[in-house]
């Protein structure tokens, strides 16, 4: 029995001994019973397992505690690491807890998050590094195709049209996703980190 089903079963057992004076189930008993009988069991969103799942999902808004268009939170594991471009306002940040992920900040605000190879992170739609171009086109029709800066065709970029924040996929010569970017223009289109 999985932990969710066990939790529901224990809750029902505990509440079954509690009834109103007239023998009718109390309102709280009804909602637990209805929840247990429904096909979808509500689970608290603040449990560690659910928090971990949420942290593994790249969204237009950001990833984990990183939010597009906002400063990097104080205490975040993301920080400047490695060489930076001198005399530039753009900085590359990364975290030892998020393999294959880096962010770009300009000024104090996060402008882009990139998920590259060797990363467990994916979009909530299930697209990850290694997904096919066909899968991307099926889930995200209408993205604008442009030639890749360094790799010959069929490699390309697929960029979401419209307002910020946006998605951008790098497609390699094997028609597979090699990187996923979420962020704001112009940082979304930078091809070499901050350049």
How many CA atoms does the CB half-sphere of 56 hold within 13 Å?
A: 13
- Residue 54 pLDDT: 56
- Look at the chain and count its residues: 195
Q: What is the pTM of this model?
A: 0.71
Structural domain boundaries of the chain? 3-37, 64-189
Q: Which of 161, 136, 156 is nearest to 146 (CA)?
A: 156
Rounded Cα distance, 59 and 62, in Å: 5
Q: Which of 119, 173, 140, 117 is nearest to 60 (CA)?
A: 140
Q: Judge contact between 189 and 168, C-beta under 8 A.
A: yes
For 135-146, what is the HEC assignment? Answer: HHHHHCCCCEEE
106-124 pLDDT per residue, tens: 999 999 999 998 889 999 9
Question: Which fold does the domain 64-189 belong to in CATH?
Answer: Pathogenesis-related Protein p14a (3.40.33)
60-89 pLDDT per residue, tens: 999 999 999 999 999 999 998 877 888 888
Lowest mean pLDDT among 13-17, 20-24, 162-166: 13-17
Q: Judge contact between 103 and 180, C-beta under 8 A.
A: no
């Amino acid at each position: 029995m999985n932990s969710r089903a066990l939790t529901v079963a224990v809750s029902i057992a505990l509440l079954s001994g509690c009834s109103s004076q007239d023998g009718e189930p109390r309102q709280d008993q009804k909602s637990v019973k209805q929840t247990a009988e429904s096909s979808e069991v509500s689970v608290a969103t603040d449990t560690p397992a659910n928090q971990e799942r949420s942290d593994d999902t790249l969204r237009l808004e950001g990833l984990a505690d990183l939010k597009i268009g906002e400063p990097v939170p104080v205490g975040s594991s993301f920080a400047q690491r490695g060489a930076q471009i001198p005399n530039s306002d753009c900085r590359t940040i990364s975290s030892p807890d998020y393999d294959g992920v880096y962010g770009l900040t300009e000024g104090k605000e996060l402008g882009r998050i990139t998920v590259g190879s060797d990363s467990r992170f994916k979009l909530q739609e299930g697209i990850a590094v290694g997904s096919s171009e066909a899968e991307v086109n099926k889930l995200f029709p209408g993205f604008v195709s442009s030639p890749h800066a360094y790799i010959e065709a069929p490699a390309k970029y697929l960029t979401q049209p419209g307002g910020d924040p946006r998605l951008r996929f790098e497609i390699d010569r094997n028609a597979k996703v090699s990187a996923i970017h979420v962020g704001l223009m112009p940082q979304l289109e930078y091809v070499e980190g901050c350049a």
